[in-house]
Homo-oligomer: A and B are copies of this chain.
Amino acid sequence: MPDTAAGRRRSLLHETRCGNCSLSSLCLPLALELEDIDQFDAIIRRRAPLKKGESLFRQGGAFTSVYAVRSGSLKQVTSEGSGADQLTNFYLPSELVGLDGIDEDAYPGSVIALETTTVCEIPFDRLDALSERLPKLRTQLYRSMSKEMRDDRRMMRLLSRKTADQRLATFFASLSDRFRRRGYSPYSFRLSMSRADIGNYLGLAVETVSRILGRFQQQGLVAVSGREVNILDLDALIELAEEEGCH
């Protein structure tokens, strides 16, 4: 009876087993043996799906868990001092959220769902304990953090050296690549974030995002209609993204 509460719960539980998760080749337990995966699986907690706009946690909240995105997408927003927020990251399925809260035992930003989103909650103390026994898990955790640091550096480079056009081009190329890795079309996808989010993330005004998108369209690089994106010339986008300041 899949429609009883118990039936639904079972199917949800079943659904969250890492062993049969389609993301297992990208996610934290990627290096684990079958039996180890079960151990890992055991510490994971299900969360009810988040609806668009709901927050996974709020800035300043006590750090307890990291989260693996299972479906949907989220944004991380940090508001410092009195003023404007800074959008520091978008998270897609298989990515790990909350690692920057370990130090200071508090989340340094709020993380908000951009659409209906499900996540796996991984209590950090249990993850840490398990990582003591599973060197591969530990390694993977180090790798995840290290990767995030590398991505951050790339973002700094984008923010301090690239023109608005290059930022947008980089953004689309990167999204395309992330979708490809997850088995989706790298050429055709739907943006879950608003133009304002994109601008905030890339350090640009909304108007600039809009204008450049228009230009890209004229140049035949992409076809954009609302949040629906078709990438027409990925190579050109990538080239534009990498292009060096011509002296």
Chain A residues near B (Cβ < 8 Å): 78, 80-84, 86, 88, 99-104, 108-109, 128, 131-132, 135, 138-139, 141-150, 152-157, 159-161, 202-203, 242, 244-245
**Are A86 and B160 in contact, with the CB atoms below 8 A?**
yes
Shortest Cβ distance from residue A48 to the other chain B in the assembled complex, whole angstroms: 27
**Are A139 and B149 in contact, with the CB atoms below 8 A?**
no
**Are B156 and A101 in contact, with the CB atoms below 8 A?**
no
Q: How far is the CA of A38 from the CA of B159 in the complex (A)?
A: 43
**Are B138 and A135 in contact, with the CB atoms below 8 A?**
no
Q: Which of B128, B135, B139 contacts A142 (CB 8 A)?
A: B128
Q: Looking across the interface, which residue of chain B has its beta carbon closest to that of A202?
A: B160
Task: Using A159-B203, A202-B160 as known contacts, say yes or no to A99 and B146 having CB atoms under 8 A apart.
Answer: yes
Q: Looking across the interface, which residue of chain B has its beta carbon closest to that of A63?
A: B146
Q: How far is the CA of A102 from the CA of B138 in the complex (A)?
A: 12
Q: What B residues does A86 contact at CB under 8 A?
A: 153, 156-157, 160-161
Q: Looking across the interface, which residue of chain B has its beta carbon closest to that of A140?
A: B103
**Are B153 and A88 in contact, with the CB atoms below 8 A?**
yes
Q: Looking across the interface, which residue of chain B has its beta carbon closest to that of A153?
A: B88
Q: What B residues does A159 contact at CB under 8 A?
A: 156, 159-160, 203
Task: Using A100-B146, A132-B138, A145-B145 as known contacts, say yes or no to A156 and B152 having CB atoms under 8 A apart.
Answer: yes
Q: What B residues does A144 contact at CB under 8 A?
A: 103
Task: Using A161-B86, A203-B159 as known contacts, say yes or no to A108 and B150 having CB atoms under 8 A apart.
Answer: yes
Task: Using A103-B146, A143-B103, A145-B145 as known contacts, say yes or no to A81 and B244 having CB atoms under 8 A apart.
Answer: yes
Q: What B residues does A142 contact at CB under 8 A?
A: 102-103, 128, 141, 145
Shortest Cβ distance from residue A198 to the other chain B in the assembled complex, whole angstroms: 12
Q: Looking across the interface, which residue of chain B has its beta carbon closest to that of A80?
A: B157
